[in-house]
Amino acid sequence: MPDIAVIGAGFIGLASAAALMRDGHRVMLFDPSGVGQGASFGNAGTFAHYACIPVNNPSVFRDLPRFLLSSDSPFRLRWAYLPQLAPWLARFMMSSLPRRYEASAGALAALLGHAQGGYAPLLANGELARFVRPRECLYLYSSGASFEGARAALDLRRQLGVGFDVLASAEIRALEPSLAPIFERGVLFSDSWHFSDPQGFLQTLYGQLAAQGLKFERATVGTLQPHPDGVSVTAEGRERRFSHVVVATGARSAQFARQCGDSVPLDTERGYHVRYPGAQQLISRPIGWAERGFYMTPMSDGIRVAGTVELGGFSTTRNRSLIDLLTFSSKRALPALDTPDNNWLGFRPTLPDGVPVLGRSRASERVIYAFGHQHLGLTLAGVSGRIVADLIARRTPPLDLAPYAATRF
């Protein structure tokens, strides 16, 4: 019988299961959708260890009104969702004040500092390492003014230990000749990499863990009930008892926190992707366009153009204008692109301060939270899994977990 339940089979749940199994635990994974079908399915695939600047930062006070009203903005609000979003949005604005934003950036940088080490046990495996493409990410600015507007954030990144080079337009074209000559400045982040197929990586990891005894149940977990000596999990009418439970249900995690005595203001930043099949040879690395809020990543099946932020809850209705923005803008950046053959909507799990929740629940030390990884769940999967396993083994985690506690709200 499995002794630990992991709820959620995305990057965070799978990495947690892998770390727990390395410690010798028997694990059962629950997810009604299968493996890697949530936000983990369609992300930009970048290992973004440099991304310690959260969306909640002081520039929102300058940019938010323009973003919310402009038709080519990558940041949108579904106005009908505003009444439900208002408490989250108020906290988000408060978290964008300089002191709080710097605290969030520091907490993210500390965690990101362990991101590569967290992946090491996974990538020591050749079958998994073959999904890694070790090319630095290039982040572009089409106007000198917006690059200047980003300077303070770049300086903070450098202070927090992120290495990068600033490139002029000729250097950008020399690196990526297929780009249109519309970019004035670029930033090349050292030591970043990307996955050629994030979902393929997760499926392969799952296959290996299943061969080692991981049990998987395609079921929705409804309730958690902590007891002194274990935790009951009820999934589709069937109750089972485990010694520990890991909550890794991404944007749907607040319900379980509530059941375990914690109120977390988790909401979602919706994001989209479009895919250009067979176009991957046009670029050699992930390329972000700052003003348009997306990455173009060369993957095994084509170029994936992924990004945008839409504050709009869990409705599955897609915003056509954001899909059009991704299509139009990527063709402007890479004129040789033809027509995308599909699009996707995903739900990033986001707390208003941009910092994930990693730690024990208030009601029971047997319930471990690992959710809220916003734009960084792929990047932070390895270290999050390691922290989950450390907590259950009562080992000292690689960093102080106070900034990631659910009780901070």
Site residues for ligand FAD per CB under 6 A = 7-13, 30-33, 37-40, 43-46, 48, 220-221, 248-250, 252, 271, 273, 306-307, 346, 348-349, 371, 373-379
Pick between residue 288 and residue 403 the one whose CB is nearest to ligand FAD.
288
Q: How far is the CB of 94 from ligand FAD (least distance, A)?
A: 22
CA distance 289 to 269: 18
CA distance 152 to 259: 41
CA distance 118 to 138: 23
Q: How far is the CB of 42 from ligand FAD (least distance, A)?
A: 6
Pick between residue 6 and residue 175 the one whose CB is nearest to ligand FAD.
6
Pick between residue 134 and residue 144 the one whose CB is nearest to ligand FAD.
134
Are 385 and 18 contacting, i.e. CB atoms less than 8 angstroms apart? Answer: yes
CA distance 373 to 370: 8
The first and second tokens of residue 281, run together, are: 């040879």
Q: How far is the CB of 324 from ligand FAD (least distance, A)?
A: 16
Overall size of the chain counted in residues: 409
Q: How far is the CB of 376 from ligand FAD (least distance, A)?
A: 4
Judged by DSSP in three states, 208 sits in: helix
Pick between residue 169 and residue 220 the one whose CB is nearest to ligand FAD.
220
Q: How far is the CB of 328 from ligand FAD (least distance, A)?
A: 17
Q: Which residues pair with 289 in a beta bridge?
A: 140, 294
Helix %, strand %, coil % of the chain (to 5):
40, 25, 35
Place of tokens 């959710």: 371
Pick between residue 115 and residue 337 the one whose CB is nearest to ligand FAD.
115
Q: CA gyration radius for the chain?
A: 20
Pick between residue 186 and residue 271 the one whose CB is nearest to ligand FAD.
271
The first and second tokens of residue 254, run together, are: 């607040």
Q: How far is the CB of 88 from ligand FAD (least distance, A)?
A: 17
Pairing of strands 4-7, 244-247: parallel
Pick between residue 40 and residue 96 the one whose CB is nearest to ligand FAD.
40
Phi-psi region of 36 (alpha: psi -120 to 50; beta: other; left: phi over 0): left
Pick between residue 59 and residue 249 the one whose CB is nearest to ligand FAD.
249
Q: How far is the CB of 202 from ligand FAD (least distance, A)?
A: 9
Pick between residue 171 and residue 301 the one whose CB is nearest to ligand FAD.
301
Q: How far is the CB of 274 from ligand FAD (least distance, A)?
A: 10
Q: How far is the CB of 375 from ligand FAD (least distance, A)?
A: 5
Pairing of strands 137-141, 185-189: antiparallel
Pick between residue 24 and residue 122 the one whose CB is nearest to ligand FAD.
122
Phi-psi region of 250 (alpha: psi -120 to 50; beta: other; left: phi over 0): left
Are 372 and 266 contacting, i.e. CB atoms less than 8 angstroms apart? Answer: yes
Are 358 and 401 contacting, i.e. CB atoms less than 8 angstroms apart? Answer: yes
Q: Which residues pair with 189 in a beta bridge?
A: 137, 164
> For residue 309, how far is the Cα from the chain centroid?
12
381 phi/psi in degrees, rounded to 5: -60, -50
Q: How far is the CB of 302 from ligand FAD (least distance, A)?
A: 16
